[in-house]
Amino acid sequence: MNSVSAVTHYSVPEEMEEGSVVANLAADLGLDVKTLNTRKMRIDVVANKKYLDINKDTGELFILERIDREFLCPSKTTSYCVLKLDATIENPIRMFNIEVEITDINDNAPHFRRGTMHLDISESSPVGERFSLNNAADPDVGTNSVKNYHLSSSEHFSIEIQTGRDGTKFADLILKKALDREQQAVHNLILTAVDGGVPTRTGTASIIVRVLDVNDNAPSFDKDKYVVDVMENSPIGSLVIKLNATDLDEGSNSDVVYSYSLYTSERTQNMFNLNPENGEIRVKEMINYEDLKFYEMEVIASDKGSDSLSGQCKLTIQVTDMNDNHPEISIKSFQSPIKENTPTDTVIAVVSVSDKDSGDNGVVDLHIPQNMPFKLRESSDNYYQLVVSQPLDREKVPEYDITFTVTDRGSPPLSDNETMTLELLDVNDNVPQFPQSFYTIRVMENNAPGALLSSLTAFDPDLHENQYLVYFILEKEIANTSMSMLFSINPENGNLYALKTFDYEIEKEFLFHIEARDSGSPPLSSNVTVHIIIVDQNDNAPVIVSPWRAHGSVVEEKMPRSTDKGSLVAKVIALDTDSVHNSRITYQFLQVTDATLFSLDQYNGEIRTMRMFSYRDPRHQRLVVVAKDNGDPALSATVTIKLSTVETAVKAYSDMTEVPLEYDIFSDLNLYLVIGLGSVSFLLLITILVTIVLKCQKPKPSKAAPTSRNSVISERNSTVADSTLVSNDAYWYSLFLAETRKGKLVVRQPVPKGSRYIVSSIPRGTGLTETSDSAASTL
């Protein structure tokens, strides 16, 4: 059976935070908090949004959503705002009526419906007159609503606060001092509304008071008396003066009309025209100084107000005698064109001037522009000479437009001018100039003959034949070879070509000069230094020099099967005649019978054992080593080493010595070495002979000429470092280098300890064999 209890009343302020506790509803209703969940207690809203709810665990009534009293109860007829709730609980069912009064807080500032109020007030309005203003509204109620108004400081206005029947506050604007539009046409005021809350809130509105004009000011001129000068023979319609009368009023009260007074003579009115709208006085008829020297008049300015006001001034016009004859100029002689190397003080033209006026009006002055290399020199009365004052340069200024200006000393001065064009003829005074003083040109070796290397173009600012350039290569011989046999230049456009294919391994750079010569008389020339750098290509494959073998043959080596781990088996040495970058060689196995048995150092080519031989390892091992350079694309060479293992009956590899044996084979490498050593020897011999001849011819020492950079043909000294060789290898390698420099081919072959080395060598270019013995080695 339903049971309804009495109304439970609570009061909370608006804008409380969500989750804020209003009261412990379960305790106030006498309910057991522990049974709220089982009895399904709930809060139902009556005709409103659900702003509150109950916590069934604690029995507390809490704020579910922020409450805005102004939104909930927008009407201001009453300050009472209540939120009605129904609390229901089951087993047995009971209902509780709950009223929550929402009290107001000062959360709204006063505001005006219009932020700006415009008032039009006549400047003739009496002091004390009232003007209604819009009142401010505040959604809050009670003491939080609008309580007062304040007006910004003003000497002309104040406010008076009124209270309506409903308690609404509003203000009237009171005029406390007379207005004057001419002193201040607009008054800007700020009206502030203040509520009674704590803390107080305010709202403002702007009041713009526009003062309406009345015709209380007469037009006035800048001066009471004017004196102006007018030149005789002034054109009809020319302006003499523009009178200006101002009226501080506005609208039609400030519109001014100009007119002659009755005191102005008819002759003066016929001679000058007065514009009634803008006050301009213009010449109406031709003025003659000899007829009348001055005119007097009185001008009235009247406004267009209902009660018209006016002002006046006096004007005196003085006629000035006019300088009405222009000076004249006459060119008696003028020389054009002239050469650009014409000496200074050379006379170019003779000019005469004249003026028919008298006095200062007849005195004339002649001048030319100041920024020219010429000056005027007076030769006699009114005769002038035009002479060269500074050196001329056709390349900077090819011609001059010389304006002769003659001016008299009248007031205002009159002038006349005449312009003559002076042309300059070119002389060959400029040396051809290259954009750069030194050119570095990189040429890839193996270039095609006739290839364009660069375009070396010079510039000559002269004209015609003085600027026509011809290009030459200054002859120089390097190693009995003329530069003209190596390079060619187009004499017309300076295109530089290569006449041969260059080889970086033979010649690495060239240094010579190119001359540009014009066709003037006498011709002028300049030269530029050209540095040709031959850039290396990877065009030489590595050559394997150790272990040596005949072309296509296999190197056979023997070693005991008891060799320890890490023992040196062989050392592959390859040479590459390319540049340092392209000749950097790395070694790697191309084929190997057992990859777990041998290791190859990729940088020094040493082949060592990685472990000891076992009975399962085959007796014959085949190693193919490839030597690859660092070029792009890389070039390579291979060597095949056939390694045979022997039982311990064979002497250990480390106890064996090496003997260089001669092969009657003349390889490409030896041919290169022979040519290189022969060329160096020949050049050294020639140098010594030339030095001896020069010493004999020149007994006295002379100053040494500065050295010039010629073509440098450098040879690269290839050094093979082998710091890890055993003593036998070190001896073999030093012997290999020594015999190779002598033009002999050597290889090594192990021989028993205690034997002597027998070196057979073939001299270069002969079939003879020479033999030398070395001391016995006890390694």
- DSSP of 355-396: -S--GGGG-EEEE--TTSSEEEEEEETTEEEEEE-S---TTT
Residue 374 pLDDT exceeds 60: yes
Determine the pLDDT at residue 601.
87
Q: How many CB atoms lie within 10 A of CB 490?
A: 13
Residue 364 pLDDT exceeds 80: yes
Highest mean pLDDT among 133-142, 196-205, 273-282: 273-282
Q: What is the pLDDT of residues 540-585, one digit of tens each?
A: 888 888 887 766 668 888 888 888 888 888 888 988 877 777 878 8
* Tokens (6 digits) for 547: 């272990």
Share above pLDDT 70 across residues of the chain, in percent, rounded to a whole number: 83
Dist. CA 641–CA 74, nearest whole Å: 109
Residue 70 burial (C-beta neighbours within 10 Å; 0-12, 13-18, 19+): middle
Pick the residue with more confidence: 764 or 266?
Answer: 266
Residue 719 pLDDT exceeds 70: no
* pTM: predicted TM-score of the whole model, two decimal places: 0.40
Determine the pLDDT at residue 232.
82
Determine the pLDDT at residue 47.
62
Pick the residue with more confidence: 423 or 167?
Answer: 423
Chain centroid, CA 485 distance in Å: 48
Residue 656 pLDDT exceeds 60: no
Averaged pLDDT for residues 91-101: 84
Residue 4 pLDDT exceeds 80: no
Averaged pLDDT for residues 279-305: 88
Contact partners, residue 408, CB within 8 Å, separation at least 6: 323, 326, 327, 355, 357, 360, 361, 362, 363, 364, 365, 414, 415
Averaged pLDDT for residues 620-634: 85
Determine the pLDDT at residue 748.
42
Question: What are the sequence ranges of the domains in the chain?
Answer: 12-103, 111-212, 220-320, 328-425, 438-535, 543-646
Residue 446 pLDDT exceeds 60: yes
Determine the pLDDT at residue 313.
94
Dist. CA 499–CA 57, nearest whole Å: 106
Share above pLDDT 90 across residues of the chain, in percent, rounded to a whole number: 16
Pairing of strands 256-260, 245-246: unpaired
Band of the pLDDT at 679, cuts 50, 70, 90?
A: confident
Question: 220-320 adopts what CATH topology?
Answer: Immunoglobulin-like (2.60.40)
Band of the pLDDT at 79, cuts 50, 70, 90?
A: low
Q: Which residues pair with 191 in a beta bridge?
A: 151, 205
Determine the pLDDT at residue 284.
93
Please give the CATH architecture assigned to the domain spanning 438-535: Sandwich (2.60)
Band of the pLDDT at 312, cuts 50, 70, 90?
A: very high
Determine the pLDDT at residue 406.
92
With residues binned 3-state (H G I as helix, E B as strand, rest as coil), the percentages for the chain, rounded to 5, are 10, 40, 50
Residue 315 pLDDT exceeds 60: yes
Dist. CA 418–CA 13, nearest whole Å: 98
Angle, alpha carbons 747-751-752 (nearest 5°): 160
Determine the pLDDT at residue 229.
92
Q: Does domain 328-425 have CATH number 2.40.100.10?
A: no
Band of the pLDDT at 76, cuts 50, 70, 90?
A: low
Same fold, 12-103 and 328-425: yes
* Tokens 């100084």 sit on residue: 289
- Residues 44 and 29 sit within 8 Å (Cβ to Cβ): no
Residue 121 pLDDT exceeds 60: yes
Q: Which residues pair with 516 in a beta bridge?
A: 471, 526
Determine the pLDDT at residue 41.
86
Dist. CA 136–CA 59, nearest whole Å: 44
Residue 760 pLDDT exceeds 90: no
Question: 12-103 adopts what CATH topology?
Answer: Immunoglobulin-like (2.60.40)
Residue 765 pLDDT exceeds 80: no
Determine the pLDDT at residue 693.
85
Q: Letter for the amino acid at 230?
A: V
Report the chain's mean pLDDT, rounded to a whole number. 79
Dist. CA 135–CA 147, nearest whole Å: 11
Residue 13 pLDDT exceeds 50: yes
Please give the CATH architecture assigned to the domain spanning 111-212: Sandwich (2.60)
Averaged pLDDT for residues 432-448: 90
Contact partners, residue 284, CB within 8 Å, separation at least 6: 236, 270, 271, 272, 273
What CATH number was assigned to the domain covering residues 543-646? 2.60.40.60
Averaged pLDDT for residues 636-643: 85
Band of the pLDDT at 757, cuts 50, 70, 90?
A: very low
Averaged pLDDT for residues 431-455: 90
Residue 663 pLDDT exceeds 90: no
Determine the pLDDT at residue 358.
67
Band of the pLDDT at 478, cuts 50, 70, 90?
A: low
Determine the pLDDT at residue 652.
41
